[in-house]
Amino acid sequence: MAGGEGEGTSLEFTPTWVVAAVCTLIVGISLAVERLLHYAGKKLKKAGQKPLFEALQKIKEELMLLGFISLLLTVFQSRIIKICVKESVMEHLLPCSLRDREEATGSKPEAEGTSHLLRHLLAEEATATGYCASKGGKVPLLSLEALHHLHIFIFVLAVVHVTFSVLTVVFGGARIRQWKHWEDSIAKVNFDTSQVLKPRVTHVKDHDFIRNRFVGIGKGSAIRGWLHSFFKQFYGSVTKSDYVALRLGFITTHCKANPKFNFHKYMIRALEDDFRKVVGISWYLWVFVVVFLLLNINGWHTYFWIAFFPFILLLAVGTKLEHIIIQLAHEVAEKHIAIEGELVVQPSDDHFWFHRPRIVLFLIHFILFQNAFEIAFFFWIWVTYGFDSCIMGQVRYIIPRLIIGVFIQVLCSYSTLPLYALVTQMGTHFKKSIFDEHMQAKFVGWAQNAKKKVATNAGTNGSSHDGPSGSGGSAGAGAATAATSAFKGIQLAKLNQSQQS
């Protein structure tokens, strides 16, 4: 038989019906998944959910990347397993000890005797081992079985990450949608003319928002504030008084012309827009995977200690977001004793790390990926090597990892993500999600036309010798002024339109 008995039967001697049946099954599954994603994309576009549609496109990109990785591993596997190195190089930085390897090697023939796939892998590895042995007693750099397991791990990691990200945003979005009745109650008050026009003076420290968030003045107030922020993220992270105060601060700063602006709808759109970044696996996340695989050394228990990193980071993010609300309350309480009308906070980037609210999104992205990595790594080892494998570790290290993983997923979904959706609106600038997709497209098209006109006018005036000097600059300044006016007009039109809808 071609290729030898140990290597199995090649396609030359495989029945055509077997080849056709296997190809039909694989192609059928692939087409079904592709059609499902395509249908989901059409439904999202029809519903006007462009951010979620783009998130779906991001998932398809990840699947395409996985397919390309699979293709590379398959095409070059015969060459990879023939990369030969000295045997002493393979005895350092091992996930399991040499004794564990000897025990696994001793028990391997019995397990392989029942699996045709493992016999096939053993035959190819034997060929690679013989090839490297002929090169002066060397050994393969990576065995075919290890390459196959690495391939499965990359696929499992990507699938688990995408799944966990979707679940986090779905549950977090459901939590945020529960705040809609707060928005509706505020809208009813705004439509009640007698309530709006009724003059009133409010003692600041008697206000619900200040009373719940103000922790006093003095040397210990900062410490009490951080402790209050730390524990607040575990229960009632956002109250109605928080929502009302932050909403009013946003509208007063960015939408003063439209006090009836639907803040809740804007916040949902902003969260959906950010979801596109959360669901992707960026290059720096793959770097983290490589670093972890490098440090997964026997006796270090890296898989255990690294589980605390996203846990601590998530607590830090939640505490920071809660503390920003306290800072906003303190600013009002320190400036005023009593106010006429509503209590208004002042949004500012100064409250965020390095004055950049977007850093919080980056950290949440990293936390979700690292947590998904921990869970994916656990299940991959369990399915591939078994629960008693040396790479799995001891039970006293496994249980805490799983508990931390579940805790991170729940806390991020029901506390941290809703906090992020609300508190990051307290930056100096609003997000482009304040406009719907139709208005965004119009504005981008108008801006491009305005740039072309400015360039054309500047070129015409620069080449003209009859006009006064500096006319090109005047044209550019006029175009810039027109651009600013048009932008403000579009913004006010959008705000009024959103309220009418």
- If asked whether residues 201 and 281 sit together in one domain, one would say yes
H, E, C per residue of 360-383:
HHHHHHHHHHHHHHHHHHHHHHHH
Task: Among 161, 188, 213, give the residue marking a domain's end.
Answer: 161
- If asked whether residues 75 and 174 sit together in one domain, one would say no
Q: What is the mean pLDDT of residues 304-314?
A: 89
Output the pLDDT for position 379.
Answer: 86
Output the pLDDT for position 408.
Answer: 92
Q: What is the mean pLDDT of residues 452-481?
A: 51
- If asked whether residues 174 and 145 sit together in one domain, one would say no
Q: What is the mean pLDDT of residues 104-116?
A: 47
- If asked whether residues 411 and 369 sit together in one domain, one would say yes
User: Does the pLDDT value for residue 316 go beyond 90?
Assistant: yes
- If asked whether residues 157 and 182 sit together in one domain, one would say no
Burial per residue of 89-115, b for 16 or more beta-carbon CB atoms within 10 angstroms, e otherwise: eeeeebbbeeeeeeeeeeeeeeeeeee
In a domain, 37, yes or no: no
Per the DSSP assignment, residues forming a β-bridge with 139 are 85
User: Does the pLDDT value for residue 30 go beyond 50?
Assistant: yes
Output the pLDDT for position 315.
Answer: 94
- If asked whether residues 328 and 411 sit together in one domain, one would say yes
In a domain, 21, yes or no: no
- If asked whether residues 346 and 291 sit together in one domain, one would say yes
Task: Among 145, 161, 177, give the residue marking a domain's end.
Answer: 161
User: Which of 222, 179, 261, 209 lies closest to 435 in space, CA to CA?
Assistant: 261
User: Does the pLDDT value for residue 119 go beyond 60?
Assistant: no
User: Does the pLDDT value for residue 117 go beyond 50?
Assistant: no
In a domain, 378, yes or no: yes
In a domain, 2, yes or no: no
Task: Among 113, 138, 161, give the residue marking a domain's end.
Answer: 161
- Per-residue pLDDT tens over the stretch 425-458: 888 887 766 655 444 444 455 556 666 666 676 6
In a domain, 38, yes or no: no
Domain that residue 390 falls in: 162-434
User: Which of 6, 492, 5, 16 lies closest to 254 in space, CA to CA?
Assistant: 492
Q: What is the mean pLDDT of residues 453-481?
A: 51
Q: Six-digit token pair at 363? A: 């950290």
* Residue 195 or residue 155, greater confidence: 155
- Per-residue pLDDT tens over the stretch 121-149: 555 556 666 677 777 777 777 777 788 88
- If asked whether residues 426 and 441 sit together in one domain, one would say no
Output the pLDDT for position 144.
Answer: 78
Output the pLDDT for position 477.
Answer: 43
- If asked whether residues 224 and 250 sit together in one domain, one would say yes
- Per-residue pLDDT tens over the stretch 170-210: 888 888 888 989 988 888 776 554 444 455 666 777 778 88
In a domain, 244, yes or no: yes
- If asked whether residues 139 and 69 sit together in one domain, one would say yes
Query: Domain count of the chain?
Result: 3
Output the pLDDT for position 486.
Answer: 47
In a domain, 108, yes or no: yes
Percent of the chain at pLDDT exceeding 90: 7
Residue 59's Cα: distance from chain center in Å?
A: 12
Q: Six-digit token pair at 196? A: 């709006």
- If asked whether residues 240 and 110 sit together in one domain, one would say no
Taking all residues of the chain, what is their mean pLDDT, rounded to a whole number? 75
- If asked whether residues 444 and 430 sit together in one domain, one would say no
In a domain, 365, yes or no: yes
Highest mean pLDDT (candidates 121-135, 312-326, 377-391): 312-326
3-state secondary structure of 393: coil
Output the pLDDT for position 191.
Answer: 55
Q: Six-digit token pair at 242? A: 């928080």
Per mean pLDDT, which range of 21-35, 326-340, 443-457 is the poorest? 443-457
